[in-house]
Chain A
Amino acid sequence: MKRSLGFVLTLFALLALAACSGSKAEGPKIVIENAWGRPSPKVATAGAFYMTIRNEGSEDDALIGADSDACGTIELHESYMKEGGAMGMRPVPGGKIVIPAGETVELKMGGLHIMCIDKQIDFQPGTKVKLILHFEKSGDIPIEVEIRNPMK
Protein backbone atom coordinates (compact mmCIF):
# COMPACT_ATOMS: atom_id res chain seq x y z
CA MET A 1 0.00 0.00 0.00
CA LYS A 2 2.80 2.42 0.94
CA ARG A 3 4.68 1.50 -2.16
CA SER A 4 1.73 2.08 -4.42
CA LEU A 5 1.14 5.52 -2.86
CA GLY A 6 4.75 6.41 -3.64
CA PHE A 7 4.21 5.15 -7.11
CA VAL A 8 1.13 7.32 -7.61
CA LEU A 9 2.94 10.37 -6.20
CA THR A 10 5.91 9.84 -8.48
CA LEU A 11 3.61 9.42 -11.43
CA PHE A 12 1.75 12.56 -10.46
CA ALA A 13 4.98 14.55 -10.16
CA LEU A 14 6.15 13.26 -13.52
CA LEU A 15 2.86 14.26 -15.13
CA ALA A 16 3.05 17.73 -13.56
CA LEU A 17 6.61 18.13 -14.85
CA ALA A 18 5.58 17.05 -18.30
CA ALA A 19 2.73 19.52 -18.24
CA CYS A 20 5.08 22.34 -17.15
CA SER A 21 7.72 21.65 -19.77
CA GLY A 22 4.90 21.21 -22.26
CA SER A 23 3.55 24.66 -21.52
CA LYS A 24 6.90 26.13 -22.52
CA ALA A 25 6.31 24.89 -26.08
CA GLU A 26 2.89 26.48 -26.14
CA GLY A 27 2.24 29.93 -27.56
CA PRO A 28 2.87 31.40 -30.98
CA LYS A 29 6.14 30.93 -32.85
CA ILE A 30 6.51 33.39 -35.69
CA VAL A 31 8.84 32.76 -38.62
CA ILE A 32 9.33 35.44 -41.31
CA GLU A 33 10.55 34.47 -44.76
CA ASN A 34 11.25 36.13 -48.07
CA ALA A 35 10.72 39.76 -47.01
CA TRP A 36 11.04 42.04 -50.01
CA GLY A 37 9.93 45.32 -51.51
CA ARG A 38 9.81 46.64 -55.03
CA PRO A 39 12.35 49.18 -56.27
CA SER A 40 10.57 52.47 -56.90
CA PRO A 41 11.41 55.92 -58.21
CA LYS A 42 12.00 58.78 -55.77
CA VAL A 43 8.79 60.41 -56.94
CA ALA A 44 6.76 57.48 -55.59
CA THR A 45 6.37 58.62 -51.99
CA ALA A 46 4.95 55.30 -50.81
CA GLY A 47 6.22 51.74 -51.07
CA ALA A 48 5.00 48.29 -50.09
CA PHE A 49 6.72 45.41 -48.32
CA TYR A 50 5.77 41.79 -48.85
CA MET A 51 6.68 38.60 -46.95
CA THR A 52 5.61 35.19 -45.78
CA ILE A 53 4.64 34.96 -42.10
CA ARG A 54 4.40 31.47 -40.62
CA ASN A 55 3.15 30.61 -37.16
CA GLU A 56 4.79 27.34 -36.08
CA GLY A 57 3.41 27.63 -32.55
CA SER A 58 0.21 26.40 -30.99
CA GLU A 59 -1.41 29.78 -30.34
CA ASP A 60 -2.69 32.47 -32.71
CA ASP A 61 -0.77 35.72 -33.02
CA ALA A 62 -1.31 38.92 -34.99
CA LEU A 63 0.86 41.48 -36.75
CA ILE A 64 -0.27 44.81 -35.32
CA GLY A 65 2.22 47.25 -36.82
CA ALA A 66 5.79 47.96 -37.88
CA ASP A 67 8.46 50.64 -37.67
CA SER A 68 11.38 51.61 -39.86
CA ASP A 69 13.70 54.58 -40.18
CA ALA A 70 13.20 54.24 -43.93
CA CYS A 71 9.54 55.23 -43.70
CA GLY A 72 7.80 58.25 -42.23
CA THR A 73 4.82 56.12 -41.23
CA ILE A 74 3.93 52.47 -41.65
CA GLU A 75 0.42 51.09 -42.00
CA LEU A 76 -0.92 47.60 -42.58
CA HIS A 77 -2.92 47.63 -45.80
CA GLU A 78 -4.67 45.40 -48.20
CA SER A 79 -5.52 45.85 -51.85
CA TYR A 80 -8.88 44.38 -52.73
CA MET A 81 -11.27 44.18 -55.62
CA LYS A 82 -14.37 46.24 -55.24
CA GLU A 83 -17.78 45.49 -56.70
CA GLY A 84 -17.59 46.17 -60.40
CA GLY A 85 -13.94 45.13 -60.58
CA ALA A 86 -12.17 48.32 -59.50
CA MET A 87 -9.17 47.96 -57.21
CA GLY A 88 -9.08 49.67 -53.86
CA MET A 89 -6.62 49.80 -50.99
CA ARG A 90 -7.51 50.12 -47.32
CA PRO A 91 -6.00 49.75 -43.87
CA VAL A 92 -6.58 46.13 -42.82
CA PRO A 93 -9.93 45.62 -41.07
CA GLY A 94 -9.43 45.51 -37.29
CA GLY A 95 -5.99 47.08 -37.67
CA LYS A 96 -4.17 43.76 -37.54
CA ILE A 97 -3.25 40.73 -39.59
CA VAL A 98 -4.05 37.54 -37.66
CA ILE A 99 -1.56 34.68 -38.07
CA PRO A 100 -3.43 31.57 -36.86
CA ALA A 101 -1.49 28.80 -35.12
CA GLY A 102 0.05 26.41 -37.59
CA GLU A 103 -0.79 28.58 -40.57
CA THR A 104 1.01 30.73 -43.11
CA VAL A 105 -0.11 34.17 -44.24
CA GLU A 106 1.24 35.66 -47.47
CA LEU A 107 1.70 39.39 -47.81
CA LYS A 108 1.83 39.69 -51.58
CA MET A 109 1.33 41.95 -54.59
CA GLY A 110 -2.30 42.92 -55.06
CA GLY A 111 -3.18 41.79 -51.53
CA LEU A 112 -1.94 42.31 -47.98
CA HIS A 113 1.10 44.55 -47.64
CA ILE A 114 3.05 46.65 -45.20
CA MET A 115 2.69 50.16 -46.54
CA CYS A 116 5.69 52.45 -46.18
CA ILE A 117 4.45 56.04 -46.35
CA ASP A 118 6.85 58.97 -46.90
CA LYS A 119 9.85 56.95 -47.99
CA GLN A 120 12.94 58.42 -46.37
CA ILE A 121 15.45 56.63 -48.59
CA ASP A 122 15.74 55.60 -52.20
CA PHE A 123 14.44 52.07 -52.83
CA GLN A 124 17.13 50.84 -55.24
CA PRO A 125 17.65 47.18 -56.11
CA GLY A 126 19.97 45.76 -53.47
CA THR A 127 18.93 48.19 -50.71
CA LYS A 128 18.28 46.50 -47.36
CA VAL A 129 15.58 48.10 -45.26
CA LYS A 130 15.58 47.44 -41.52
CA LEU A 131 12.09 46.85 -40.26
CA ILE A 132 10.74 46.04 -36.81
CA LEU A 133 7.51 44.05 -36.87
CA HIS A 134 5.20 44.34 -33.86
CA PHE A 135 3.25 41.24 -32.93
CA GLU A 136 0.46 41.09 -30.38
CA LYS A 137 2.01 38.20 -28.43
CA SER A 138 5.48 37.60 -29.86
CA GLY A 139 6.44 41.25 -29.39
CA ASP A 140 9.00 42.93 -31.64
CA ILE A 141 10.70 40.97 -34.39
CA PRO A 142 13.42 42.83 -36.32
CA ILE A 143 13.83 41.82 -39.95
CA GLU A 144 15.57 43.00 -43.08
CA VAL A 145 13.60 43.72 -46.26
CA GLU A 146 15.40 43.26 -49.53
CA ILE A 147 14.58 45.75 -52.27
CA ARG A 148 14.48 43.77 -55.51
CA ASN A 149 12.43 43.21 -58.60
CA PRO A 150 9.48 40.82 -58.25
CA MET A 151 10.29 37.22 -59.09
CA LYS A 152 8.06 35.11 -61.26
Chain B
Amino acid sequence: MRNRTFWLGFFGTLLLVGLGWWAWDRFRPYAFHGTVLQSNEPAPDFTLMSADGPVSLSDFRGKIVLLYFGYTFCPDVCPTTLTELKRAMELLGEDADQVQVIMVSVDPERDTPEKIQEYVEYFWPTFIGVTGTPEQIAEVATQYGIYYEKREVPGATGYLMDHTATVTVIDRDGYVKLIFPFGTPGEDIAADLKYLIEH
Protein backbone atom coordinates (compact mmCIF):
# COMPACT_ATOMS: atom_id res chain seq x y z
CA MET B 1 0.00 0.00 0.00
CA ARG B 2 2.75 2.41 1.00
CA ASN B 3 4.64 1.26 -2.06
CA ARG B 4 1.79 2.16 -4.38
CA THR B 5 1.48 5.67 -2.96
CA PHE B 6 5.20 6.15 -3.46
CA TRP B 7 5.16 5.11 -7.12
CA LEU B 8 2.05 7.15 -7.82
CA GLY B 9 3.77 10.22 -6.40
CA PHE B 10 6.97 9.42 -8.27
CA PHE B 11 5.40 9.05 -11.70
CA GLY B 12 3.03 11.94 -11.06
CA THR B 13 5.93 14.26 -10.40
CA LEU B 14 7.76 12.96 -13.47
CA LEU B 15 4.69 13.63 -15.60
CA LEU B 16 4.34 17.17 -14.30
CA VAL B 17 8.00 17.97 -14.91
CA GLY B 18 7.77 16.58 -18.43
CA LEU B 19 4.60 18.54 -19.21
CA GLY B 20 6.06 21.74 -17.83
CA TRP B 21 9.18 21.31 -19.90
CA TRP B 22 7.21 20.67 -23.06
CA ALA B 23 4.95 23.69 -22.48
CA TRP B 24 7.90 25.98 -21.77
CA ASP B 25 9.70 24.80 -24.87
CA ARG B 26 6.57 25.15 -26.99
CA PHE B 27 5.33 28.54 -25.84
CA ARG B 28 8.37 30.50 -24.69
CA PRO B 29 9.10 33.58 -26.83
CA TYR B 30 11.74 33.02 -29.51
CA ALA B 31 15.14 34.28 -28.38
CA PHE B 32 16.98 35.87 -31.31
CA HIS B 33 20.73 35.32 -31.62
CA GLY B 34 21.17 38.78 -33.12
CA THR B 35 20.52 42.03 -31.28
CA VAL B 36 16.86 42.99 -31.65
CA LEU B 37 16.08 46.59 -32.60
CA GLN B 38 12.64 48.18 -32.26
CA SER B 39 12.50 50.79 -35.00
CA ASN B 40 9.59 53.20 -35.28
CA GLU B 41 10.75 54.49 -38.64
CA PRO B 42 11.29 52.35 -41.73
CA ALA B 43 14.93 51.75 -42.66
CA PRO B 44 16.21 54.71 -44.74
CA ASP B 45 15.93 54.00 -48.45
CA PHE B 46 18.99 54.45 -50.66
CA THR B 47 19.96 53.99 -54.28
CA LEU B 48 23.46 52.82 -55.14
CA MET B 49 25.11 51.42 -58.25
CA SER B 50 25.36 47.70 -58.99
CA ALA B 51 26.87 46.00 -62.02
CA ASP B 52 23.33 45.76 -63.43
CA GLY B 53 22.38 49.38 -62.81
CA PRO B 54 20.95 51.31 -59.84
CA VAL B 55 19.69 49.29 -56.88
CA SER B 56 17.39 50.66 -54.17
CA LEU B 57 16.58 49.13 -50.83
CA SER B 58 12.87 49.57 -51.64
CA ASP B 59 13.30 47.21 -54.63
CA PHE B 60 13.35 44.37 -52.11
CA ARG B 61 10.25 45.15 -50.06
CA GLY B 62 8.69 41.77 -49.22
CA LYS B 63 12.11 40.15 -48.82
CA ILE B 64 14.41 40.15 -45.84
CA VAL B 65 17.47 42.27 -46.66
CA LEU B 66 20.87 41.68 -45.05
CA LEU B 67 23.03 44.76 -45.37
CA TYR B 68 26.79 44.49 -44.98
CA PHE B 69 29.47 47.13 -45.45
CA GLY B 70 32.95 46.03 -46.56
CA TYR B 71 35.49 46.15 -49.39
CA THR B 72 37.09 43.73 -51.83
CA PHE B 73 40.67 44.32 -50.70
CA CYS B 74 39.64 43.02 -47.27
CA PRO B 75 41.08 39.47 -47.10
CA ASP B 76 40.11 38.39 -43.60
CA VAL B 77 37.12 40.05 -41.92
CA CYS B 78 34.83 40.45 -44.99
CA PRO B 79 35.28 36.92 -46.37
CA THR B 80 34.71 35.56 -42.88
CA THR B 81 31.33 37.30 -42.66
CA LEU B 82 30.37 36.47 -46.26
CA THR B 83 31.19 32.81 -45.58
CA GLU B 84 28.82 32.81 -42.59
CA LEU B 85 26.12 34.42 -44.76
CA LYS B 86 26.72 31.76 -47.40
CA ARG B 87 26.37 29.11 -44.71
CA ALA B 88 23.08 30.67 -43.61
CA MET B 89 21.79 30.61 -47.21
CA GLU B 90 22.73 26.93 -47.50
CA LEU B 91 20.88 26.12 -44.28
CA LEU B 92 17.78 28.07 -45.35
CA GLY B 93 17.44 25.86 -48.42
CA GLU B 94 14.32 26.85 -50.34
CA ASP B 95 13.71 29.81 -48.04
CA ALA B 96 16.96 31.40 -49.25
CA ASP B 97 15.03 33.15 -52.04
CA GLN B 98 13.24 35.17 -49.34
CA VAL B 99 16.56 36.71 -48.35
CA GLN B 100 18.64 39.30 -50.21
CA VAL B 101 22.22 40.02 -49.16
CA ILE B 102 23.54 43.43 -50.24
CA MET B 103 27.17 44.36 -49.69
CA VAL B 104 27.94 48.08 -49.81
CA SER B 105 31.55 48.99 -50.61
CA VAL B 106 33.17 51.42 -48.19
CA ASP B 107 36.07 51.70 -50.64
CA PRO B 108 34.48 53.31 -53.71
CA GLU B 109 37.94 54.47 -54.82
CA ARG B 110 39.04 50.93 -55.56
CA ASP B 111 35.74 49.05 -55.90
CA THR B 112 33.85 49.42 -59.16
CA PRO B 113 30.30 47.97 -59.35
CA GLU B 114 31.69 45.09 -61.45
CA LYS B 115 34.47 44.38 -58.97
CA ILE B 116 32.26 44.26 -55.89
CA GLN B 117 29.67 42.16 -57.77
CA GLU B 118 32.27 39.58 -58.82
CA TYR B 119 33.49 39.50 -55.24
CA VAL B 120 30.12 38.81 -53.58
CA GLU B 121 28.96 36.41 -56.29
CA TYR B 122 31.91 34.21 -55.48
CA PHE B 123 30.23 33.46 -52.16
CA TRP B 124 26.62 33.14 -53.30
CA PRO B 125 25.10 33.71 -56.75
CA THR B 126 22.25 35.96 -55.59
CA PHE B 127 24.35 38.29 -53.43
CA ILE B 128 24.43 41.86 -54.76
CA GLY B 129 27.37 44.26 -54.46
CA VAL B 130 26.85 48.02 -54.71
CA THR B 131 29.00 51.11 -54.61
CA GLY B 132 28.63 54.81 -55.33
CA THR B 133 30.33 58.15 -55.02
CA PRO B 134 32.22 58.69 -51.76
CA GLU B 135 29.46 61.15 -50.73
CA GLN B 136 26.67 58.63 -51.40
CA ILE B 137 28.47 55.91 -49.45
CA ALA B 138 29.09 58.28 -46.55
CA GLU B 139 25.42 59.19 -46.42
CA VAL B 140 24.16 55.58 -46.40
CA ALA B 141 26.77 54.55 -43.82
CA THR B 142 25.77 57.40 -41.52
CA GLN B 143 22.09 56.51 -41.85
CA TYR B 144 22.83 52.95 -40.78
CA GLY B 145 25.26 53.85 -38.01
CA ILE B 146 28.19 52.34 -39.87
CA TYR B 147 31.61 53.76 -39.10
CA TYR B 148 34.41 53.46 -41.64
CA GLU B 149 37.73 55.12 -42.01
CA LYS B 150 40.51 55.03 -44.55
CA ARG B 151 43.84 54.43 -42.87
CA GLU B 152 47.21 54.73 -44.58
CA VAL B 153 49.51 51.91 -43.51
CA PRO B 154 53.22 51.42 -43.94
CA GLY B 155 53.95 48.68 -46.45
CA ALA B 156 52.52 47.54 -49.73
CA THR B 157 48.82 47.80 -49.05
CA GLY B 158 48.73 51.59 -49.44
CA TYR B 159 45.65 51.99 -47.33
CA LEU B 160 43.16 49.86 -45.45
CA MET B 161 39.60 50.51 -44.44
CA ASP B 162 38.49 50.12 -40.85
CA HIS B 163 34.78 49.47 -40.78
CA THR B 164 31.88 48.29 -38.69
CA ALA B 165 31.54 44.62 -39.61
CA THR B 166 28.00 44.01 -38.38
CA VAL B 167 25.18 42.69 -40.56
CA THR B 168 21.94 44.73 -40.49
CA VAL B 169 18.72 42.78 -41.01
CA ILE B 170 15.79 44.66 -42.57
CA ASP B 171 12.48 42.82 -42.34
CA ARG B 172 9.93 42.33 -45.11
CA ASP B 173 8.10 45.53 -44.18
CA GLY B 174 11.28 47.57 -44.49
CA TYR B 175 12.14 48.01 -40.80
CA VAL B 176 15.53 47.37 -39.24
CA LYS B 177 14.95 44.29 -37.11
CA LEU B 178 18.27 42.74 -36.09
CA ILE B 179 21.99 43.38 -35.94
CA PHE B 180 24.45 40.48 -36.15
CA PRO B 181 27.84 41.25 -34.60
CA PHE B 182 31.05 40.19 -36.37
CA GLY B 183 31.60 36.47 -35.88
CA THR B 184 27.94 35.39 -35.63
CA PRO B 185 27.85 31.78 -36.91
CA GLY B 186 25.84 31.05 -40.06
CA GLU B 187 23.75 28.58 -38.03
CA ASP B 188 22.53 31.37 -35.71
CA ILE B 189 21.87 33.71 -38.64
CA ALA B 190 19.85 31.01 -40.41
CA ALA B 191 17.79 30.27 -37.26
CA ASP B 192 16.86 33.96 -36.82
CA LEU B 193 16.03 34.39 -40.51
CA LYS B 194 13.92 31.24 -40.49
CA TYR B 195 11.92 32.61 -37.57
CA LEU B 196 11.41 35.94 -39.39
CA ILE B 197 10.30 34.11 -42.54
CA GLU B 198 7.79 31.95 -40.66
CA HIS B 199 6.31 34.67 -38.44
- Residue among B80, B119, B148, B163 having the largest count of chain A Cβ atoms under 10 Å: B80
How many angstroms between the C-alpha atoms of A149 and B123 in the bound complex?
A: 11
How many angstroms between the C-alpha atoms of A65 and B115 in the bound complex?
A: 30
B73, A46: Cβ atoms closer than 8 Å: yes
Q: Known A72-B156, A110-B182; judge A86-B147 contact (CB<8 A).
A: yes
Give the residues from 91 to 131 in chain A that come closer than 8 angstroms, CB to CB, to chain B: 91, 109-110, 113, 115-118
* B56 contacts chain A at the CB level, 8 A cutoff: no
How many angstroms between the C-alpha atoms of A47 and B121 in the bound complex?
A: 17
B156, A73: Cβ atoms closer than 8 Å: yes
CB distance from B36 to the nearest CB of A (A): 17
How many interface residues does B have (CB within 8 Å)?
31
CB distance from A151 to the nearest CB of B (A): 11
Residues of A contacting B164 with CB < 8 Å? 84-87
How many angstroms between the C-alpha atoms of A40 and B183 in the bound complex?
A: 19
Residues of A contacting B72 with CB < 8 Å? 43-45
* B15 contacts chain A at the CB level, 8 A cutoff: no
B147, A40: Cβ atoms closer than 8 Å: no
How many angstroms between the C-alpha atoms of A86 and B162 in the bound complex?
A: 7
* B118 contacts chain A at the CB level, 8 A cutoff: yes
Partner of B155, one of A75, A109, A110, A150: A75
Partner of A89, one of B76, B148, B154, B166: B76
B75, A47: Cβ atoms closer than 8 Å: yes
CB distance from A152 to the nearest CB of B (A): 8
* B142 contacts chain A at the CB level, 8 A cutoff: no
Give the residues from 145 to 170 in chain B that come closer than 8 angstroms, CB to CB, to chain A: 147-148, 151, 153-157, 160, 162-166
B115, A43: Cβ atoms closer than 8 Å: yes
How many angstroms between the C-alpha atoms of A1 and B157 in the bound complex?
A: 75
Binding site for B on A (CB under 8 A): 38, 40-48, 72-73, 75, 77, 79, 81-82, 84-91, 109-110, 113, 115-118, 149-150
Binding site for A on B (CB under 8 A): 72-77, 79-80, 83, 115, 118-119, 121-122, 147-148, 151, 153-157, 160, 162-166, 181-183
